[in-house]
Amino acid sequence: MSAIGIFDKLSSVRNALDYHVRRHSVITSNISNSETPGYKPHDLEFSAQLATAASELEKTDGQHMDLADKAEAGYRFRVEAFEDATVVPGNDGNSVSMEREMAKLSANSIRYQATAEIMSRRLGLLKYAIAQMG
């Protein structure tokens, strides 16, 4: 794999870390507003995760979607916050479910830690490769 390929993979992992940090912020904002009358919880779109995963995939069949080529051609997946309307609001109009938000926060933290471990291992491999060259 070329040095450029290694940095491309590091970039996709960095993007995944950025996504999880932003999602953590959105979820904690929901938790902070759990007592705010009329507050509707928000979340982030999944397309950022898809973009990261797509950069790691290899196209092995002509019928596979070619997401990596779209990203290289300037096609950008967007991360946008959206109002989560799947929860029924309470008497005060607030629709934050603490149990649901805490579960999302926990899952997001696990994904962040796993992604950070991937980044650490890739940087370790890069460090090893550099040491072998010198």
Query: Total domain count for the chain?
Result: 1
Domain that holds residue 13: 9-133
Angle at 46 between CA 23 and CA 13, to 5 degrees: 70
| 32 contacts 20 by C-beta, under 8 angstroms | no
Q: What is the pTM of this model?
A: 0.69
Residue 3 inside a domain? The answer is: no
Residue 1 inside a domain? The answer is: no
Residue 69 inside a domain? The answer is: yes
Euclidean distance between CA atoms 131 and 134, whole angstroms: 5
Write the DSSP assignment of 33-59 as a string of letters.
Answer: TTTSTT---EEE-SHHHHHHHHHH---
Euclidean distance between CA atoms 130 and 78, whole angstroms: 34
DSSP label at residue 22: H
Residue 119 inside a domain? The answer is: yes
Residue 20 inside a domain? The answer is: yes
Residue 90 inside a domain? The answer is: yes
Residue 77 inside a domain? The answer is: yes
pLDDT tens sequence for the chain (134 residues): 555 555 667 788 888 899 999 999 999 999 999 999 999 999 987 665 565 555 655 666 666 655 555 444 444 445 667 787 777 888 898 999 999 999 999 999 999 999 999 999 989 988 898 898 87
Residue 2 inside a domain? The answer is: no
